[in-house]
Amino acid sequence: MAETTVKTTPDAMDAATLEATLDAALDAARAGDSARVEALLEPVHPADVADLLEQVSESDREALLAMGSAVIDGEVLSEISDAIREDVLGALPDEVVAEALRELDSDDLVDIVEDLEAEDQGRLLGAMDAADRMAVEQALAWPEYSAGRLMQRELVVAPEHWTVGEAIDFLRGADHLPDQFYHVILVDPRMAPVGYVTLGRVLSSGRDVALKAITEESFRTVAATDEEADVAYIFNQYHLISCPVVDGSGRLVGVITIDDAMNVLDEEHEEDMLRLAGVGDEADVSDGPVETVKQRLPWLVINLFTASLSALVISQFEATIASIVVLAALMPIVASTGGIAGTQSLAVAVRALATRDLTRANAGRVVRRELLAGLMNGIGLALILGAAGVLIFGDWHLGLVLGLAMIVNQIVAALGGVLVPLTLERMGLDPALASGTFVTTLTDVMGFFAFLGLATVMLT
């Protein structure tokens, strides 16, 4: 019996159906059945097709890419992770790449091209239409990670003196409009943006209403040279949907939409998380073992040297540990508890710096809060650990040493978790890059020093 394919919309496809569909498409690709692959993937969202290409083995990816346009179109190409995009492009025939690129807006084209090697950039630029190629080359002239790289050139512009009726007639008669747009941007005779009007206001207003009378209060512009992270912050802070981009003379050169701004925020948050974990900022599940080692080994080596500081501190109290052996068993408790507290404080501080909730204006208040919280946590843990020391070892002196060391280490951890990223940020460094290593070292060193130092004074 011949198999039939039941088409479903991406919205209606649940997780189980999606998984079964992707598995069937992979089996069809292995069998070289491009018609079935195309039929199966046609209702699947491009992001899910991109996930499939990222998650399968290299041999299965080659089988899928051999299906050409049955698998790859412009949207899929724009969704693929940077980690494998170059390999994907290299495996596709030029005609498939050219067809896929024709479907994309200029901002997506720039996103694909900008991270490629020069040879691959030339290949893709050569596959583009002349207008797209010019737009991408102009975008690449702007600094990396700038608004000029993030913006798209496809926008809707109207003279500032137009009425709603004139704008509607223009939109209906236009040969080409962006696939998605949210505002009609008003410009003066110098092509400088002076306001924008939402499509909803255009459609709900009378034809004789002046566009200038229904502009949005949220209107603002960004410079093409502004950093994309600053642009994303503006979108998030002021709840923007789109934002015109201007050059050095104030002329309109493009527009940034909310989807691109939110992508930047997601990437920034992901990079911070990976850097805090010490695995670099480009780690990906599709990376091979060599790439993974390159990302992780440097931080492990750095941690090896910083851990040596803790060992150095411990070695200074060798006689104390030799005379009271139980101290060796209790040291990890103080150090690990301090490390967890430092990580808690650090995570909050780095996140607040990224969202600009932690600034010079409120840094003092935040530091005082962490100091008080560390003291209170230390007292609570000291009571628990001190009581356990007395009950288990029958020595109230040991319990007191444990309690005092815990208070000291919790205060150090809380302060280190906020002061270290603040210091790095003031030095112009990424707070997420090395804060974890410094805070861990600080809590370990101070924890061992406080515990063993107090034990030396009070128990020997």
Q: How far, in Å, CA of 352 to CA of 358, rounded?
A: 5
Helices (H) and strands (E) in the chain, counts: 21, 6
Q: For residue range 409-455, what is the model confidence (pLDDT) as tens digits?
A: 999 999 988 998 888 888 877 777 667 778 888 888 888 888 888 88
Confidence band, pLDDT 50/70/90 cuts, at residue 246: very high
Other CB atoms within 10 A of residue 104 CB:
21
Q: What pLDDT, on the 0 to 100 scale, is given for residue 287?
A: 60
Confidence band, pLDDT 50/70/90 cuts, at residue 7: very low
Contact 153, 252 (CB under 8 A): no
DSSP string computed for 99-140: HHHTTS-HHHHHHHHTTS-HHHHHHHHHHS-HHHHHHHHHHH
Query: Residue 138 pLDDT > 80, yes or no?
Result: yes
Q: For residue range 264-318, what is the model confidence (pLDDT) as tens digits?
A: 887 777 766 666 665 555 555 556 677 767 766 776 777 777 778 888 888 888 8
Domain boundaries 10-141, corresponding CATH code: 1.25.60.10
Q: For residue range 177-211, what is the model confidence (pLDDT) as tens digits?
A: 888 889 999 999 999 999 999 999 999 999 999 99
Superfamily of chain region 289-459? SLC41 divalent cation transporters, integral membrane domain (1.10.357.20)
- Residue 183 is classified by DSSP as E
Query: Residue 3 pLDDT > 50, yes or no?
Result: no
Q: What pLDDT, on the 0 to 100 scale, is given for residue 277?
A: 60
Contact 68, 84 (CB under 8 A): no
Q: What pLDDT, on the 0 to 100 scale, is given for residue 276?
A: 62
Q: Which CATH architecture has domain 157-274?
A: Roll (3.10)
Query: Residue 4 pLDDT > 60, yes or no?
Result: no
Q: Is 195 left (phi over 0), alpha (psi -120 to 50) or beta?
A: left
Q: Give the residue range(s) of CATH 3.10.580.10 domains in the chain.
A: 157-274
Q: Give the residue range(s) of CATH 1.10.357.20 domains in the chain.
A: 289-459
